[in-house]
Homo-oligomer: A and B are copies of this chain.
Amino acid sequence: METKDKKHFIVEKAEELFANQGFSGTSVREIAKAADVNVAMISYYFGSKEKLLMEIFRYRADYLQTKIGNLLNNSSLSWWDKLDIHIDHYVEKIKDNQHLHRIIMREVDMNSCSKVSEFFLEHKKAHFKIFSQYIREGQEAGVFNKEVDLLALYTSLAGISKYILFNQDFVRTIIKEQTGNTLTEEDLIQLAKKYLKNFFRKYLEIN
């Protein structure tokens, strides 16, 4: 394997371990074993354990770019269809980057006083900006209800989708009791999307 691929492999294994066991709860020896490399390679490649964590963030930087705007602007779809796409996109992205989100929740959101925290705060702000700009344009186009709190919308979007994705066991159990069906992760994704689309319709529709 090429050394660049090997580095990426270590990053991915570390990401998974950090997500499930936490940064402090995972030893470099554990990471080395999972990636099937010598312990020293982690210091050799990344400098330190902490810098490996930073490398994870850098590795996922493209995801954090949140360039949804382009997709939506050039389309001839209706405002409502675009909103659905936005929601689908949002939930899907959280699903695809669950490990990263878990790490952010554990190591960044929880002790919010480092430079990393500031970086992710900026990212959240940027995403909120894109989101609220889209809603406002829909409002000015006369499609979306103008009497709606953008932050209320956004916290619901983030809160609901994160809750369903990070409490999968709970949601699954309830659905199992209600219907007898055991939902797959994909089913849960669809459920989150359904709930959110319903939610946005209720809030943005003009009666």
B-contacting residues of A (Cβ < 8 Å)? 19-25, 102, 105-106, 109-112, 117, 121, 124-125, 128, 149, 151-152, 155-156, 158-164, 166-171, 173-175, 178, 195, 198-199, 202-203
Whose C-beta in chain B lies nearest to the C-beta of A166? B109
Task: Say how far A22's CB is from chain B's closest CB, in angstroms.
Answer: 5
Interface residue SS majority, chain A: helix
So how many copies of this chain end up in the complex?
2
Cross-interface CB contact of A159 among B128, B160, B178, cutoff 8 Å: B160
Closest to A170 in B: B124
A162 / chain B contacts, CB cutoff of 8 Å:
159, 163
A174–B125 touching, CB < 8 Å: yes
Is B163 touching A151 in the complex (CB atoms < 8 A)?
Answer: no
Query: When the two chains form their complex, are residues B25 and A173 in contact, meaning their CB atoms are under 8 A apart?
Result: no
